[in-house]
Amino acid sequence: MTYAFHHNWLDVQQVVAWLKENKPAGMHVIITGRGAPPELVEYADLVTEMQEVKHPFQRGIRAQPGIEF
């Protein structure tokens, strides 16, 4: 969904206003994607940014059964 905000396909202010108005209490809404707009981050209860720092694949180690699949 954040990509839709980034490309201006959705207006983040309208979406946040709709969520404030219509989201039932206790309902969890999960919005994924990189670069969440500040308005969405402000409204959210939880925001996580994941960033790869080091991965075995970078050293030529292939995916391992039971770990990656």
Give residue-wise pLDDT tens across range 26-66: 999 999 999 999 999 999 999 999 888 998 889 998 988 98
Task: Give the model's pLDDT for residue 64.
Answer: 85
Task: Give the model's pLDDT for residue 47.
Answer: 96
Show Cβ contacts of residue 44 under 8 Å, excluding neighbours closer than 6 positions.
31, 36
* φ, ψ at 38 (rounded to 5°): -55, -35
Contact by Cβ (8 Å): 1, 32: yes
Taking the C-alpha atoms of residue 2 and residue 15, their distance in angstroms, rounded to an integer, is 11
pTM comes to 0.71
